[in-house]
Amino acid sequence: MEIHNRRYTGSKFKLCNWIVNLVTSQCSGNSFCDIFSGTSVVSYHLLPFFNEIILNDFLFSNYVIYKAFYSNSEFDSDKLDCYLKKYSEINPNHIDDNYLSENFGGKFFSINDSKIIGHIREDIESNKDNLNEREYNILLASLLYSSDKVANTVGHYDAYIKNKDIKDKFTYKLIKPIDTSGKNIKIYREDANILSRKINSDIVYIDPPYNSRQYSRFYHVLENITKWEKPELEGVVLKPTPENMSEYCKCNASIVFKDLIDNLQCKYIVVSYNNTYNSKSNSSKNKISLDYIIDILKEKGETQTFEQSYKFFNTGKTEFKDHKEFIFITKVGNK
Ligand SMILES: C[S@@+](CC[C@H](N)C(=O)[O-])C[C@H]1O[C@@H](n2cnc3c(N)ncnc32)[C@H](O)[C@@H]1O
């Protein structure tokens, strides 16, 4: 499984060629920072063009996924293949119920699949002393990708598909780590505004959430599997108590956006944006307006706007008329 083989709200996978062309033609430098990395597909596509890449996202699951795919540290492929074989041979009828099957069985996964996923997660944890950090992260990221593939959802965990006979589909597959030899890859799990004060990068790419949908709530099942602290869960979709609630999804989004831009130390700022502030659904409405973003960026330097029709990337399918994707590129200090 490769880095893009997951469903993720707001992934820029389909826009990557456009973003790569803009970044490489409009900016120059050796380092690229993806401060709201999400799936990290933008950084992945820009890897050949930079010596240093900084990845950051405050979700625990994304952090493990970046460490598994990108870090340069060693791992033993034969050892991982032994785990793959062991996990492929699990018979759900021969294992006990567990935290995952008790909470999510028949909801986000079939009963049998959830038993297997919970069993594997427990096994990875109990073998922690036999694995180095990279191997542990690869086994866990592989479990996250394999689980996400069969989840009974439309792509996030804010709901599961009801009244459905959920089929057993789970297969444990290993992820394919990315060759990052010769590259300096820095991986963080921090609030973007805190990190902005500590790092220095030639180009910083900014793709925050712009509406009220919290990623930590959307991906709570993956966060839960990653942390494996087995908290008590509440509500129809069985969420734990909230954490990592983004200020970018709240009414002071404009303030945190300005704070972020003010504190960045870089030569270029590249911002992704789309015009869903016109959306009919309240939760999809943007918290920051296009004009405000341009004003803040212009204070930092000369700013160019690039736009594409959403239809261009999505073969004509769109939630509403005139849906557009924007990229703003600011040359810092050059007003
Ligand atoms: C729109 S998504 C980024 C999508 C990404 N560019 C991609 O192509 O997959 C925004 C990301 O920001 C993260 N996030 C939200 N608020 C954050 C914060 N304050 N600090 C760090 N990460 C944050 C979310 O977890 C989410 O993964």
Residue 150 Cα to ligand 1 midpoint, Å, equals: 23
* pLDDT value at residue 311: 72
CA distance 274 to 6: 22
Q: Tally Cβ neighbours within 10 Å of residue 97.
A: 13
With tokens 């707001």, the residue in question is 10
Lateral strand order in the sheet of 203-206? 184-188, 52-56, 31-34, 203-206, 268-274, 324-332, 301-309
The verdict on the CB of residue 41 being under 6 Å from ligand 1 is yes
* Residues with pLDDT less than 70, the chain: 277-284, 312-321, 334-335
CA distance 327 to 272: 5
The verdict on the CB of residue 8 being under 6 Å from ligand 1 is yes
pTM: 0.96
Q: Tally Cβ neighbours within 10 Å of residue 232.
A: 8
C-alpha triplet 20, 25, 27: angle, nearest 5°: 90
Residue 218's nearest CA partner among 306, 282, 283 is 283
Q: Nearest C-alpha to atom 17 of ligand 1 is from which residue?
A: 246
Strand locations in the chain, DSSP E?
A: 31-34, 52-56, 184-188, 203-206, 268-274, 301-309, 324-332
* pLDDT value at residue 323: 81
Per the CB < 8 A criterion, the answer to whether 246 and 216 are in contact is yes
The verdict on the CB of residue 207 being under 6 Å from ligand 1 is yes
* pLDDT value at residue 276: 73
Q: Nearest C-alpha to atom 22 of ligand 1 is from which residue?
A: 57
Atom of ligand 1 nearest to the CA of 208: 10
Q: Bridge partners of 31?
A: 52
The verdict on the CB of residue 71 being under 6 Å from ligand 1 is no
* pLDDT value at residue 151: 97
